[in-house]
Structure 1
């Protein structure tokens, strides 16, 4: 089967794009957690009753770490994917939220 001649540049661009995605792309060097998320995650680590806003901040942080809660009924990687995202959020919390933590 022969491809039209105009598809060569498109295929080359697609190959470069996919190679960048497979390699992980450019590393993210900014903050991952907002000050509000830092505050809410710190509050969740206490024994105080959590608020809906604190739960929302936690879920937002987990989604930033790659967790997708939508396929909960048919996720073959649950709970491993949730635990991996939680470890990443904990790492971000330790490295980015030091000023927000009580001393």
Structure 2
């Protein structure tokens, strides 16, 4: 394979990988930070519904979008960083997930 054809193949592979990731984790609607599934699952969590893996995954995804990173072995800012992310997710929830009043 020529070097030029392998260079042309790389963007196609990256694009395919990104498209498959989009299908697995849908992006929020334009102008929104939370997906409809996250709104639904956060509503269930707030209503003390039984936890499920999907609800927990959606809550963690929202917290990560708000800037929380649970991966460090030692986090000197814990729990402040988690609480800050939770406040931001709560704000997004109130703004984006609240039913229309009328």
Normalised to the residue count of structure 1, the TM-score between the two structures is 0.65
Aligned to 2:49: 48
Deviation (angstroms), 1:77:
0.1
Higher RCO (CA-CA < 8 Å; seq separation 6+):
1
Q: Distance in 1 between matches of 2:98 and 2:48?
A: 19
Deviations 1:22-77 (CA, angstroms, capped at 9, x unpaired) = xxxxxxx8100000000000000112211110000000000000000001x31000
Unaligned runs of 5+ in 1: 1-28
Deviation (angstroms), 1:82:
0.1
Post-superposition, which runs of at least 4 consecutive aligned residues in structure 1 deviate over 4 A? none
Q: Distance in 2 between matches of 1:48 and 1:60?
A: 19
RMSD: 1.5
Aligned to 1:74: 74
Unaligned runs of 5+ in 2: 1-29
Q: Distance in 2 between matches of 1:48 and 1:96?
A: 21
Q: Distance in 2 between matches of 1:40 and 1:47?
A: 11
Deviation (angstroms), 1:87:
0.1
